[in-house]
Chain A
Amino acid sequence: MSKSFSGGIHPAYNKAMTAEIPIADMPLPDKVRLPLSQHIGAPCKPLVAKGDTVAMGQKIADSDSFVSAPIHASVAGEVVLVDDQAIEIKTDKEKSRFSGAAQSYNNQGELRQIIREAGIVGLGGATFPTHVKVTPPEGVTIHTFMINGAECEPFLTTDHRVMLEQGQEMIAGSKLLMEACGAEKTIIGIEKNKPDAIEHMSKLIADEPAFAVTGVQVKYPQGWEKQLIKSLVGQEVPDKGLPLDLGIVMNNVATAVAVHRAVEYGEPLLNRVVTVSGSGINKPQNVRAPLGTSVADLVEFCGGLKPEAAKIIDGGPMMGRALSTLDTPITKGTSGILVFNRDEVHLFSEDPCIRCASCVDACPSRLLPNYLALYVKREMLDEAEEINLMSCIECGCCSYVCPSKIPLVHYFQRGKQEINARNRNQ
């Protein structure tokens, strides 16, 4: 019996479209647009001005806040726009080569500083600054480090390919992260629909006594941090708490690779692997693209859109964000760009709730989505908070199973916003 958690759903995975194709490096785009906020925490402030020439890998924005991460130029070139939202650079293709040196450190603090300076954030999509994650507060000891290789969202295969192609780098990065947070052992959790990754990883860690690979049940949202921890060690992270509270730190596969590259080559976060997939794109594949590349350039590299393409999604189909234009940049958190055809797009139409409780059975947080939606619709925010609206992780399982097609996550997002606004005003 596979290890798992209660609730969850089993959507069609559609990973075969891109899982077997090696990662392609796309050519440099003509222009990149780097938003100042690509992470959780305080947005950065620009360090360059319009007209400046920047080198590839140069730090161009930073923040004084602890929970933040600097932004680097992903290409060399001339800064053509600086405003309070983003920095745009016109690429100088000749000069866009990164050169850096190995970084050395004497202690945990210095290692964490290297991670910070490289602008590394959680690349699974949460974009939480990594150096903050590996710095536990006073009195908390971390004993286990975990690598999140679940990748539960349908269509996405970026972590899968990175594990297969950059597995050694990932192990090296994991060792650094283990050192940074002080853990004694590492568990790599991989969903069982990736047997080749499980086998490859097991081989790589054969001589590493501190490492273990565990296959977990294929279920969405297995890759959500708290659910994966439950599946791997059977413990539940406290509702309003963090894995730190259990002495655990978990990072994504690509984050570990980035940490290795930061220390080994002095390379900051300049690019990331994005799964371009879906029935509306001509050549679905995984692409390594410089941060700030526009989705339009990425789509063109993948053969362009099919004529019936109707919806573009940044991320996975369950939690991703629909884009209104292709003129949007790839950021540190963009794990996928999905293109859906017209006949796959569901337009809004809500039937009455029939209290079938499919949502209650599917919710991984053990909430009562039908009542929450009822309360939010009637502005009964106290009652909604009482039955734990704020613990909703917006995974979308409830909306997926609802036969009445009620946009539950949408209501919860609104309700949470209103509760936060109300709490702020008090």
Chain B
Amino acid sequence: MTDKFVVGPSPHVLGPKTVKSVMWEVVIALAPVSIAGILLFGLDALLVLVTATVTAMILEALVLHRNLKPASILGDGSAAVSGLILGLILPPSTPLWMVVIAAAVGILLGKHAFGGLGNNIFNPALVARAFVFMSWPVAMTTWHGPLSLSDWTTRVSVDVASSASPLGGAQHGLMEMFLGQTAGSIGETSALAILLGAIFLIVRGHIDWRAPLGYVGSAAVVAAIYSFLGGDFALTTIAWQLMAGGLLFAAVFMITDMVTSPVTKTGRLLFGIGCGLITMVIRLYLSAPEGVTYGILFMNAMVPLIDRYTVPKVFGEVKSR
């Protein structure tokens, strides 16, 4: 019988979740969206996604571990998540060298300059996208419509076959928008695929309903007010607004990014509402085509203040203070 026992602090049983399990499950949740994007936009999309994800993982391995061993590249899964999300919010015809730069900016500036996992303030994928959007605005707003099977393997050049996205004026029916048969960024078009991912994340307990509901809710309210004031109020208009652009994708995968959103329950709701308001104001009243990126980056910067001012009342807190 041994007399050498392990001694440590309580609790002595720990839950099953680990950082790796959380991150890789988010990657699994992104699978439907990625597959939908590849099916709709062809080889282009596949190359963009792979480039973004692999670049992000390699750069993180170099920064954190200074080597390129497979274990380092896989890391804790967070670089894979950031890279994949970045790829999904880029247009499918983005030149690959631009994708590499975007991934570098996102991982190095947006994440590691601030201290790595858990320390960054801004969503790395959005930092990358905003940077690339400002530097090469034309490439970022050039879309091409979903490909037919015969075109699937051709690499579509940027000048040929561009078409407008729904926010750029293209007319689409609601079912088309739901399934994703419109132009747009790789992951943003198919509401169906996004919802599948959302269900997986909710079942696994990785996202809280407050931020997404606040986001979609406030966006819907602003859209309703706008269309009401404009005289053509209809539920379909609101649904259209919600499915256009990157709003749904952001609601499920970017608003819920744990590191860059508030920690308190009320805070998460406020965060979602704030993002929704800014997104819709930019979309409807200002000339930028898409407000999601800027709305979320703006609210990311408000997170420390939100956390500070929404500290919950402790159990049994006496009001007499």
A and B touch in the complex (CB under 8 A): yes
Distance A370 CA – B263 CA, assembled complex (angstroms) = 9
Q: Could you say which residues of chain A place their CB within 8 Å of the CB of B208? A: 357, 361
B11, B19, B117: the one contacting A399 at CB < 8 Å is B11
Distance A366 CA – B11 CA, assembled complex (angstroms) = 19
A241, A400, A405, A407: the one contacting B316 at CB < 8 Å is A241
Interface centre among B21, B206, B263, B315 (most CB of A within 10 A): B315
B8, B78, B259, B315: the one contacting A348 at CB < 8 Å is B8
A338, A346, A360, A409: the one contacting B263 at CB < 8 Å is A360
Q: Which residue of B lies closest to A309 (CB)?
A: B2
Distance A357 CA – B316 CA, assembled complex (angstroms) = 21
| Chain A 357-379 near chain B by CB (<8 Å), digits 1 or 0 | 11011001111101100000000
By the criterion CB–CB under 8 Å, are A11 and B9 in contact? Answer: no
**Which size bracket describes the interface of B in this complex?**
35 or more
Distance A396 CA – B78 CA, assembled complex (angstroms) = 26
Residues 9-44 (chain B) with a chain A CB within 8 angstroms: 9-15, 17-19, 21-22
By the criterion CB–CB under 8 Å, are B18 and A403 in contact? Answer: yes
Known: A322-B5, A352-B119, A403-B18. A239 touches B11 (CB 8 A): no
Q: Could you say which residues of chain A place their CB within 8 Å of the CB of B17? A: 358, 401, 403
By the criterion CB–CB under 8 Å, are B118 and A354 in contact? Answer: yes
B252 CB to nearest chain A CB (Å): 16
The answer, yes or no, to whether B258 is at the interface (CB within 8 Å) is yes
A236, A322, A409: the one contacting B6 at CB < 8 Å is A322
Known: A236-B315, A305-B1, A388-B314. A355 touches B14 (CB 8 A): no
A312 CB to nearest chain B CB (Å): 5
Q: Which residue of B lies closest to A235 (CB)?
A: B316
Q: Which residue of B lies closest to A359 (CB)?
A: B263
The answer, yes or no, to whether B138 is at the interface (CB within 8 Å) is no
Q: Which residue of B lies closest to A326 (CB)?
A: B3
By the criterion CB–CB under 8 Å, are B12 and A340 in contact? Answer: yes
Distance A229 CA – B6 CA, assembled complex (angstroms) = 35
Q: Which residue of B lies closest to A404 (CB)?
A: B19
Q: Could you say which residues of chain B place their CB within 8 Å of the CB of A354? A: 19, 22, 78, 117-118, 258-259
**Which size bracket describes the interface of A in this complex?**
35 or more
Q: Could you say which residues of chain B place their CB within 8 Å of the CB of A239? A: 314-318
Known: A353-B118, A400-B14. A410 touches B9 (CB 8 A): yes
By the criterion CB–CB under 8 Å, are A238 and B7 in contact? Answer: no
Q: Could you say which residues of chain B place their CB within 8 Å of the CB of A348? A: 8
Q: Could you say which residues of chain A place their CB within 8 Å of the CB of B3? A: 325-326
By the criterion CB–CB under 8 Å, are A226 and B11 in contact? Answer: no
Q: Could you say which residues of chain B place their CB within 8 Å of the CB of A413? A: 9
B126 CB to nearest chain A CB (Å): 16
The answer, yes or no, to whether B311 is at the interface (CB within 8 Å) is yes
The answer, yes or no, to whether B166 is at the interface (CB within 8 Å) is no
B28 CB to nearest chain A CB (Å): 16
Distance A242 CA – B2 CA, assembled complex (angstroms) = 43
A384 CB to nearest chain B CB (Å): 12
By the criterion CB–CB under 8 Å, are B21 and A313 in contact? Answer: no
B6, B22, B258, B260: the one contacting A347 at CB < 8 Å is B6
The answer, yes or no, to whether B72 is at the interface (CB within 8 Å) is no
Q: Which residue of A lies closest to B78 (CB)?
A: A354
The answer, yes or no, to whether B264 is at the interface (CB within 8 Å) is yes
Q: Could you say which residues of chain A place their CB within 8 Å of the CB of B318? A: 238-241
B2, B8, B78, B317: the one contacting A322 at CB < 8 Å is B8
Distance A305 CA – B313 CA, assembled complex (angstroms) = 46
A304, A356, A396, A400: the one contacting B258 at CB < 8 Å is A356
By the criterion CB–CB under 8 Å, are B315 and A387 in contact? Answer: no
A263 CB to nearest chain B CB (Å): 33
By the criterion CB–CB under 8 Å, are A311 and B6 in contact? Answer: yes
Q: Which residue of B lies closest to A304 (CB)?
A: B1
Residues 266-321 (chain B) with a chain A CB within 8 angstroms: 268, 307, 311-318
By the criterion CB–CB under 8 Å, are A318 and B7 in contact? Answer: no
Q: Could you say which residues of chain A place their CB within 8 Å of the CB of B19? A: 351, 354, 403-404
By the criterion CB–CB under 8 Å, are B13 and A400 in contact? Answer: yes
The answer, yes or no, to whether B168 is at the interface (CB within 8 Å) is no
The answer, yes or no, to whether B112 is at the interface (CB within 8 Å) is no
Distance A357 CA – B211 CA, assembled complex (angstroms) = 13
A293 CB to nearest chain B CB (Å): 17
Distance A88 CA – B237 CA, assembled complex (angstroms) = 82
Residues 67-87 (chain A) with a chain B CB within 8 angstroms: none
Known: A326-B3, A357-B263, A387-B311. A400 touches B9 (CB 8 A): no
Q: Could you say which residues of chain B place their CB within 8 Å of the CB of A401? A: 15, 17
By the criterion CB–CB under 8 Å, are A318 and B13 in contact? Answer: yes
The answer, yes or no, to whether A200 is at the interface (CB within 8 Å) is no
Interface centre among B78, B265, B314 (most CB of A within 10 A): B314
The answer, yes or no, to whether A345 is at the interface (CB within 8 Å) is yes
| Chain A 399-426 near chain B by CB (<8 Å), digits 1 or 0 | 1111111010110010000000000000
Q: Could you say which residues of chain A place their CB within 8 Å of the CB of B7? A: 311, 322-324
B75 CB to nearest chain A CB (Å): 11
A43 CB to nearest chain B CB (Å): 23
A235 CB to nearest chain B CB (Å): 9
A366 CB to nearest chain B CB (Å): 5
Q: Could you say which residues of chain B place their CB within 8 Å of the CB of A5? A: 315
The answer, yes or no, to whether A321 is at the interface (CB within 8 Å) is yes
By the criterion CB–CB under 8 Å, are A409 and B9 in contact? Answer: yes
By the criterion CB–CB under 8 Å, are A320 and B5 in contact? Answer: no
B315 CB to nearest chain A CB (Å): 4
Q: Could you say which residues of chain A place their CB within 8 Å of the CB of B264? A: 357, 360, 368
The answer, yes or no, to whether B116 is at the interface (CB within 8 Å) is yes
Q: Could you say which residues of chain A place their CB within 8 Å of the CB of B260? A: 355
Distance A154 CA – B260 CA, assembled complex (angstroms) = 35
A154, A236, A404, A407: the one contacting B13 at CB < 8 Å is A154
A342 CB to nearest chain B CB (Å): 8
Known: A366-B312, A366-B314, A368-B264. A319 touches B10 (CB 8 A): yes
In order of increasing CB-CB distance, the 3 nearest A-B pairs are A396-B11, A410-B9, A352-B118
User: Can you give 23 contacting A-B residue pairs, CB < 8 Å?
Assistant: A238-B316, A239-B315, A241-B318, A305-B2, A310-B6, A312-B5, A317-B12, A318-B10, A318-B13, A323-B5, A325-B3, A326-B3, A338-B12, A346-B14, A352-B117, A355-B261, A368-B311, A399-B10, A399-B14, A404-B118, A405-B14, A407-B9, A410-B9
Told that A368-B311, A403-B21 touch, could you supply 8 new A-B pairs with CB distance under 8 A?
A12-B13, A318-B12, A346-B14, A357-B258, A364-B315, A365-B314, A367-B314, A391-B315
